[in-house]
Amino acid sequence: LSANIAFIYPNLKELSRSLLSQLEDIQEKSVSTPPENSSPATTTAQSSPYLDMTAIRQGCLDPSFTFNSATAEPVSPVAPRPKSVLVTGATGFVGAFIVYELLSQGAGVHCLVRATCVEEAQRRLVETLEFYDLWDSSYVPLVKVVVGDMAQPLLGQSPDGFADLADQVDAICHSGALVDWMRPLEDYVGPNIVSTHEILRLASTGQRKAVHLVSTISTLPRHMGCMLAPDDREYGYGTSKYLAERMLAAARWRGVCASVYRLPFVTASSSTGHFRRDQGDFLHNLIAGSLELGSFPSLDGDLSAVLPIDYISRTIVSIMIHDIHRIGQDFDFVNTRAPRFNDFFKAMIAIDGGQEIVPFQTWQARALKYAAAHPTSPLARIASILDGYASETAASMIQGGMPFGEHVLGDNDYPAPLINEQTVRRYVKRIKSSRKEQSDVLAASSPISDCAQAGGVCR
C-alpha cells in the first residue's frame, strides 16, 4: 500500500471498500492462475477444496475460521487445566519429550502420527518414547494415537473424524515441523505452514481450545524488521515458521487463546544425555564429530542460545498445565548461566580425554578432511555448512543475539539448569554408547560378518 493511502480516502468506510475491491481482484486472479513452482509434495493440498494455497503461502488464515471466545484475552487463571491435549510431532525429538511431560502429570494425550494403521502408529510412538527412556506401561490408558498427516487438509482426517477429534481435545501443542536449514521454502509449505493452518482449523471447531505453537528463534529477524534473503541459510525454514506465526496472530484477532514458544538450539537431555534419534542436529554433530576427530574448534562465544530438551519440554508443559494465566504470551528463551564454548569443550576433554582445542581454521581443515574420509560420520553430516564459515563467523553458527520478545524464559522465569560435570558426563557417555551401537550394526550387516556366521567364504 502506498504511504498516501490515508489521504486518498476520506474515511475508514471508503478505505475498506477500496481494499475489499482490490482483494476480490487478487482472489479472481489467483483462482484462474495456478501458483508457480508447485511441487509434488503439495499437490494433494493444492487440489483440496479446503485450502487456498495461494493465501496459505502468504501466511493468510482462512477467513471462515472463528473461535469460541468473545475476546482475545488470555485464558483466566481459574480456568481448569487441560484434560486432553493433541500433540503433533509426537515421534520427533521435541514432541516425544512434551508427550512424556504431559503423561507424567496425568494428562490425556492424543498423538497425531503418520502411519498406515493404528497399530503401526502405536508402535512408532512407543518405540520413540522407549528409545529416549520415556515410556512406562502405566501411560497406556492416557494415550490415544490418531493416524493422520499434519501436512494434509483436515490433518489427514475424514470430515467426521476431524470433528470428533475437535470434540475430544481441549488443548493443542503443535510441535511437529520439518526442521532443516538447507531446504528451499517450498519443501516446508506442507509440514510447517499447512499444518499450522489446519491446527487452527481444529481450534476453531468444537469446544474452545488453547493453542501452543512450537516455533524457532529463526523467525526473530523477521519480527525485528530484518527480512531474510533467499540466499540466507535459514531462509526456507525461518520463513515457513514466521508465516505459521502470522497465521496464529490472525487467529488471536478472532479470539483464539494461543502462545508461541520460539526455541533456541535444543541439545541433549541434561538428566539422561539423550540426543535426537536421527543422529542429532548441527550442534550435536559438531560436538560428537569433534570427539571422534580428537580436537575441538576454539570459538569466541557462549552457549546462551542452547538449552537441553528436558528443560524445554518441562517448561512448555508447565505453562500449558500450571502457569495457565500466561497462556496468550509469546516466549523466547535464553540460558543466562551458559558456559563459554571453550569452557564447555574443556569439560568434555577432561571427561573423555585425548582431545585438544585448536584454532578454528586448523580444526576446520581437519574436520573437512575427516568428513571426506568418513562419509557416515557426524562431521560429514554438517560438512557443507562448515565449509562456508570462517573463523570470525564460527561462533555465530550456534550463538544467538539477545531475545527480542517481551517474555523471556530461562533467566528469572523458569531458570535454565546449570551445565555441570554430571551433565557433560551423561552426554559423553550417550555419544560413545551410540557410536558403539552403530559400529555393531555395521559389523553385523557387513558381508564378512554374515559369511563368518554362516561358515561360508566371502568373495
**What is the per-residue DSSP string for 318-343?**
HHHHT-GGGBTBEEEE--TTPPBHHH
How does strand 330-333 pair with strand 257-263?
parallel
CB environment 105-137: b (16+ within 10 A), e (fewer)? eebbbbbbbbbeeeeebbebbbebbeebebbee
Give pLDDT, residue 2. Answer: 63
Phi/psi at 408 (5° precision) = -120, 125
C-alpha grid cell, residue 311: 528443560
User: 309-321 and 93-104 helices cross at what angle (nearest 10)?
Assistant: 50
* Residues 229, 246: Cα–Cα separation, whole Å: 18
Q: Under 8 Å CB-to-CB from 397, ≥6 apart: which residues? A: 282, 286, 385, 389
Q: Torsions phi, psi of 90, nearest 5?
A: -65, -20
Grid cell for residue 135: 515410556
pLDDT score at 119: 96
Residues 436 and 430: their CA atoms lie apart, in Å, by 10
Instruction: Estimate to the nearest angstrom the gap between the alpha carbon of 194 and the chain centroid.
Output: 15
Closest CA to 176 of 135, 143, 128: 128
Task: Say whether 108 sits in a helix, a strand or coil.
Answer: strand
pLDDT of residue 399: 59
| pLDDT the model gives residue 332 | 93
On whether the CB atoms of residues 403 and 261 are closer than 8 A, the answer is no
CA torsion sign for 92, 94, 95, 96 is positive
Question: What is the Cα–Cα distance from 59 to 145, expressed in whole angstroms?
Answer: 29
Q: Does the CA dihedral 254-255-257-259 come out positive or negative?
A: positive
Look at residue 396 in the predicted model and tell me its pLDDT.
Answer: 62
Model-level pTM?
A: 0.84
φ and ψ of 255, to 5 deg: 115, -5
Residue type for 323, please? D
pLDDT of residue 451: 38
Q: Give the single-character DSSP code of 185.
A: G
Cα distance between residue 157 and residue 138, in whole Å: 28
**Is the separation of the CB atoms in 20 and 38 below 8 Å?**
no
pLDDT tens-digit profile, the chain (459 residues): 665 666 677 788 878 888 888 787 766 665 544 434 333 343 345 557 889 999 999 999 999 999 864 344 444 433 458 999 999 999 999 999 999 999 999 999 999 999 999 999 999 999 999 999 999 999 999 999 999 999 999 999 999 999 999 999 999 999 999 987 778 899 999 999 999 999 999 999 999 999 999 999 888 877 777 777 787 777 899 999 999 999 999 999 999 999 999 999 999 999 999 999 876 688 899 999 999 999 999 988 889 999 999 999 999 999 999 999 999 999 999 998 899 999 999 999 999 888 899 999 999 999 999 999 999 899 998 888 787 676 556 556 665 555 667 899 998 889 999 998 999 999 999 999 988 887 766 666 655 444 334 333 333
- Give 448's contacts (C-beta < 8 A, 6+ positions apart): 458
